[in-house]
Amino acid sequence: MNYRQIEERLGYTFKDKKLLKTALTLASADPDDNNQTMEFFGDAILEFLVSEKIYDEKSSEGKLTEKRKMYVSDEALTPVAEKLGLDKYLIRSSGDTNNIKSVPSSYEAVLAAIYLDGGLSEARSFVMRTMDFNIAVIEKDYKSRLQENYQKITQNTPKYDNENIGTPQSPEFVSRTVIFDKTFEGRGSNRKQAEQLAAKNALDYFSEMFSEKNKRN
């Protein structure tokens, strides 16, 4: 394992390299020393740090809970983990090639490893450095915004046609939705992400129409 290369991507140098190795080891590769416990711990650390980040926002408890749930979801963490290259560094058995859950989980495990190696301050810095809170909020809302605007005019709900065009090692989905007889397409590393991008493209195209409709209402 090239520790220096991984650490450069993470922006953190481990004092105990074994923590990093364990964080990237799946149970299929080592039933005894793997990242499952770190994933559990990292999930709790991430929820705390995200809660700390959004604590001062003027929202109800329910809305804050939903926002936190969105930030720590697999859909939000997968592109973050892939940007860091964690999917390429995972240690797995030769037959374990279709474990999509392992990618977002690896981010949580690495977060736990950084916490155990460097403490809360380093863990916080890692999360704030690697997660884009603004983009996550906007992308998550595209589908609901499109549905709200589309239903005001047609009373219909947008439908999405999804296709898996990737491989187990490099998943890629394409999603298409037809709005007013025009097809819009989105691509992403998972189905929900692709749907969000298809909805965004439709919103962008019909932005003036929807804006005028909302003004009249």
Instruction: Indicate which residues carry an active-site annotation.
Output: 43, 108
Backbone angles phi, psi at 161, to 5 degrees: -105, 115
Q: Token pair of 170, please?
A: 């490099």
Cα-only R_g, the chain: 20
- The DSSP secondary-structure symbol of 187 reads E
Confirm if 176 and 198 have CB atoms less than 8 A apart. yes
User: Cα separation of 188 and 179, whole Å?
Assistant: 20
Residue entry with tokens 């797995």: 92
CA distances from 117 to 16, 23, 187 (A): 7, 12, 37
Q: What would the two tokens of residue 64 be?
A: 């804050």
Sign of CA dihedral 43, 65, 122, 129: positive
Task: Give CA–CA dist 184/181, Å, rounded.
Answer: 10
